Amino acid sequence: MKIGILGGTFDPIHKGHLALAREAKKEFGLDRVFFVPSFIPPTKSVFPHLTPAPYRYRMVELALENETDFEICDEEFKRPDVSYTVDTLEILQSKFPGTQLYLILGGDSFNGLLQWKGIARIRELAGFIVAPREGAQSEAPFTEKVNWIKMPIVPISSSVIRSGISSGNSEVNAFLPKKVEQYIHEMKLYEGD
Domains of the chain, CATH where assigned: 2-154 (3.40.50.620)
pTM of the model: 0.92
Question: What is the predicted pLDDT for the residue at 134?
Answer: 63
Question: What is the predicted pLDDT for the residue at 81?
Answer: 86
Residues 6+ apart with CB under 8 A from 23: 131, 149, 151
Question: What is the predicted pLDDT for the residue at 152?
Answer: 79
Read off φ and ψ for residue 106, nearest 5 degrees. -85, 155
For residues 162 and 193, is the Cβ–Cβ distance under 8 A?
Answer: yes
Question: What is the predicted pLDDT for the residue at 40?
Answer: 86
